[in-house]
Chains A and B, each alone.
Chain A
Amino acid sequence: MAIRILVGVKRAIDYAVKVQVKTDKTGVVTEGVKHSMNPFDEIAVEEAIRLKEKKVAQEIIAVSCGPTQCQETLRTALALGADRAIHVEINGKDYETLQPLAISKLIAAVAKKESVDLVLLGKQAIDDDCNQTGQMVAGLLSWPQALFASKVDIKDKKAEVMREIDGGSETIRVKLPAVITTDLRLNQPRFANLPSIQKAKKKPMAKMSPSDLGVDIKPHQEYLSYEEPPKRQGGGRVSSVDELISKLKEKGLV
């Protein structure tokens, strides 16, 4: 019996954008900045599609929480091969203060509602680097978790997952339903072409609110300040090796 997969896709600031902290230090500049699907989530979507291609999975549901623009991210997931999408709409202040615990509760609620067998998530988002959601979803659902996956095999309602750990890898087996988070080496995601995006626009996308799912998204942490990394203090040029050595000696570095 083929399984059903829920894939989380986050709309994050594009990896190629140079992120800037707002002048009042209350956050980073997001207006007019290119966003795209969090790269770790692309890997999760890709893995789900491969499981479907292997007939291990029968249905892939993509979920994203945030403003209307998240629908573009969901379209990309649909274009890549997800069957349908769920957009949990969160706007304005609620979105700005949205934290991993709230996201985890939302994803857990959708996972229950859709009675999926597997939740596939990126290990973290490249914008806030929290690395919390997968773990908390597993906790909230009391499901086993297999984090930082670099290889996934699913057979007879069990997942064998190779995990990236310090200095090597380990392989674990978990029973489904379970939560798996993806690491960089799991796969090489495909890209969406024009026909797949146009086809995706004809696929179903359901919209709901956190209250539809019975989830309170109130923040539990307060963000105090955002700081940019220290600016690089300019360097200088030396004309010869001798000059370099004497400068290094001067600074007591050799």
Chain B
Amino acid sequence: MSVKPCELILHQLLPPVRRACLLLPELTLSILTSSHPLWHIPYEEAMAKLDRSDPWWAFLWPGSQGLARYVLDNKSLIRGRYVLDIGCGCGASAIAAKIAGATNVTANDIDKGKQLFYSCNIINHCCLFLGDALIATRHNARLNDVTINKFSSDNLIQNPSLTFQNDKIDLLIIGDMCYDDQLAKQILHLIITAHQSHIHVLLADPGRYSFKSIVMNQLKDKMKRACEYPIIDHDYVESDFQTIQIWTT
């Protein structure tokens, strides 16, 4: 049985949602919301329909909601910048950066989805393989009439210094990535390296345990809280989080 390409999933199963969330009424995104039937069926059935596991890119996580909001509200910080969105997921923050006037935006996500080698054939001899998250990001960018300049599926957080040496980047944006200890440690290292390379960092987090215990614990003096947004979208109301905080270096 052949696997369903992500494009097919996006077109057939995830119709564009206008006003993707209450915090981001200006964005249209193909994501899962509580108005979608897949939201309401048992996990195994939804997975079978989507034909893949861990579709992080099918959701607009609170951190990304806040990050995209901040980017859209602070266009002066973004205009003319070379932006890298790490763990872009559905691409909301990368798209927001482009709308806010960034000169160049790189969307990065290591999500491989289902390996679809046949979709990566010899079109124009430039066979760029995109994982599901990046396909979703490209799709969502089109829905909002912007073009993401570069897609990267490399695991950049494993070797940040290399990334910052090779690419012209002056703003790093991170939305809701610190959800386990190992990731939080890598993000901590990434922020420190970015700081040393004089790259500005914007990070959004709803107060996840690993963020507080690892990143905040170490970077108390280096980062400051720029802004705080309430989580108003009912789909993402979780008892432990009430707000999304934006941190900057």
Contacts and interface: CB of A to CB of B under 8 A. Distances in A.
B40 A193 contact: yes
Contact of A199 (B41, B46, B47, B238): B238
Nearest to A190: B42
A195 B235 contact: yes
Nearest to B46: A194
A205 B181 CA distance: 10
Interface in B102-144: none
A198 B56 contact: yes
A195 B210 contact: no
Contacts of B43: 79, 191-194, 196-197
A204 interface: yes
Query: How many of chain B's residues touch chain A, expressed as a range?
Result: 20 to 34
A160 interface: no
A83 interface: yes
Contacts of A204: 180, 208-210
Contacts of A195: 32, 34, 39, 59, 235
Contacts of B42: 191-193
Interface in A106-161: none
A201 interface: yes
A194 B32 CA distance: 10
A194 B210 contact: no
A201 B179 contact: yes
Contacts of A196: 43
Interface of A: 52, 79, 83-84, 191-199, 201-205
Interface of B: 32, 34, 38-43, 46-47, 50, 54-56, 59, 61, 176, 179-180, 208-210, 235, 238-240
